[in-house]
Amino acid sequence: MRMYQELLNKNIKMSVVGLGYVGMPIAVAFARKVPVIGFDLNEEKINLYKSGIDPTNEVGNDKIKETTVEFTADESRLREARFHIVAVPTPINSDKTPDLSPIEGASRTIGRNLTRGSIVVYESTVYPGITEDVCIPLLEEESGLKCGVDFKIGYSPERINPGDKVHTLENIIKIVSGMDEYTLEQIANVYELVIEAGVHRASSIKVAEAAKVVENSQRDINIAFMNELAMVFDRMGIDTKDVIAAMNTKWNALGFYPGLVGGHCIGVDPYYFVYEAERLGYHSQIILSGRKINDGMGEFVAESIVKKLIHANKVVKQSNVVIFGMTFKENCPDIRNTKVIDIVNKLKEYGVTPLIVDPQADPIEIKKMYGLEVIDMHEVKDADCLVFTVAHNEFLNVSLDWIEQRFIDCPTHEKVIIDIKSILNKEDIKEKGYSYWRL
């Protein structure tokens, strides 16, 4: 009997290893169809899920309360499963090289609990070759089993967009791959249980691995181009958004905008590709240049803030700057690899310690990860400069009257507004007489 049929008949279980922004939605989706064990090393996170709380906001508390996923931090429970999905993060080290410790740790954990006849599918973003050259040996070492004989392997890159309630797991085409044709079909059939948009069968595991890092690298490069234009237009005194609005009237315009490029995918994946390319003797020309531009945008924004403060007759070191948004993107609580911290750190070099507002993020996590205090947006007062870095829904709905109440009592032209995501109406802001700048 094929594995997906055994899963449907509840003869065997599936496990999802790593229950973050990617793994948890996968586990919940599959649990509607088959028995699922959700494993994570973080017991605090597991307890939240068991209590019906979704700290990621990806599926919501109601669905967490209703799901049949068996959440656990006990790795021995993995022995009950025959189909394993690995969805742990793949970050980078301080020197921008891949940090494979999470995926290596997950492989060892599964290996210790692997049973004959199992299939292990990796979803974590890696450079081509990791699944077969790194993960398989670890699985074999820990289990004492032989890949291709006792168990099979596959790769299916995650494509979930955190915070996106439109492009969800079910309606994004899923790339799947396997070590042989039989395994490929097994994996494809299992994913087809929940992926309504269908699956794309890649010709090999390495092709599937490459597709993931390349699609994010492509987006990174396009945003870097817009960021470079924004920096040049700033010197020219031209509004970048106005240029883009004109450009986008052409049918084949790509529709990219400048901005801070952080998070756990676009801001990280290109380095995985570059690392392997350089190991093979090729030095990246375009990808690294794009990364350099995007990694420098926080500093550019911070220096633009300082310039506007000076032009508004402010003493920079005494200025009360409030940053609205600490997450890496809108309507998402994820603060990992947020580029807003680059703005904060650069401002500190000028003697400015900004206040942070973010209704989406966990204040405890911000304090733990970045050492910053968070205040409620309605408590902001006596500000010299308001910096809108992230387009959270809460910020989209603020009125000019509300904004006015956040400022210190001074002439309007000395009140600085920095609008990185262009969420405010430029004409209304300028008509009021504020000192305004947007990326």
**CATH, residue 328:** 3.40.50.720
d(CA 330, CA 123): 24
User: How much of the chain, in percent, has pLDDT values that exceed 70?
Assistant: 99
Domain identity same for 170 and 244: no
Q: Using CA atoms, how far apart are residues 80 and 294, in angstroms rounded to an integer?
A: 44
Active-site residue identified among 265, 332, 385, 410: 265
pLDDT at 294: 94
End-to-end, the C-alpha distance of the chain in Å comes to 57
Same domain assignment for residues 254 and 300: yes
Number of domains in the chain: 2
Q: Which domain holds residue 346?
A: 224-438
pLDDT classification of 83: cutoffs 50, 70, 90: very high
Sheet of 385-388, strand order = 355-357, 321-324, 385-388, 416-419, 435-438
pLDDT of residue 168: 76
Overall average pLDDT of the 410-438 stretch? 93
Average pLDDT over residues 385-405: 94
If one counts every other C-beta atom within 10 angstroms of the C-beta of residue 226, the result is 21
163 pLDDT band, cuts 50/70/90, is low
Same domain, 189 and 230: no
Last residue of a domain, one of 172, 204, 236: 204
Q: Is residue 209 part of a domain?
A: no
Same structural domain for residues 146 and 44? Answer: yes
Q: Are residues 296 and 154 in the same domain?
A: no
Q: Name the domain boundary from 154, 176, 204.
A: 204
How do residues 252-299 score in pLDDT, each as one tens digit? 999 899 999 987 778 888 888 888 888 889 988 899 999 999 999 999
State yes or no: pLDDT of 24 exceeds 80.
yes
Q: Is 332 a catalytic residue?
A: no
* Residue range 164-189: mean pLDDT, rounded: 89
